[in-house]
Structure 1
Amino acid sequence: MASQSQGIQQLLQAEKRAADKVAEARKRKNRRLKQAKEEAQAEIEQYRLQREKEYKTKEEAALGSHGNSAVEVDKETVDKIKRIQVNYQQNREAVLGTLLNLVCEIKPEIHANYRVSG
Structure 2
Amino acid sequence: MASQSQGVQQLLQAEKRAAEKVAEARKRKNRRLKQAKEEAQAEVEQYRMQREKDFKTKEATALGSHGNLSMEVDKDTNEKIRIIQANYQQNREAVVSHLLSLVCEIKPEIHINYRING
What TM-score, normalized to structure 2? Answer: 0.71
Q: Partners in 2 of 1:94 and 1:68 — Cα distance?
A: 40
Structural mapping, 1:1-118, within 5 Å: 2-59=2-59, 64-117=64-117
Moved over 6 A (4+): none
Distance 1:3 1:108 in 2: 150
Tell me how large the CA RMSD over aligned residues is.
Answer: 2.8
Q: Deviation of residue 88 (structure 1)?
A: 1.6
Identity %: 80
Structure 1 gap ranges (5+): none
Q: In 1, Cα distance between the equivalents of 2:30 and 2:68?
A: 55
Amino acid at match of 1:31: R
Relative to 1, partners in 2 of residues 1:5 and 1:80: Cα closer, same or farther, differing over 3 Å?
A: same
Flag structure 2 segments of 5+ consecutive residues without an equivalent.
none
When normalised by structure 1's length, the TM-score is 0.71
What is the aligned residue count? Answer: 118
CA distance in 2, matches of 1:66, 1:45: 31
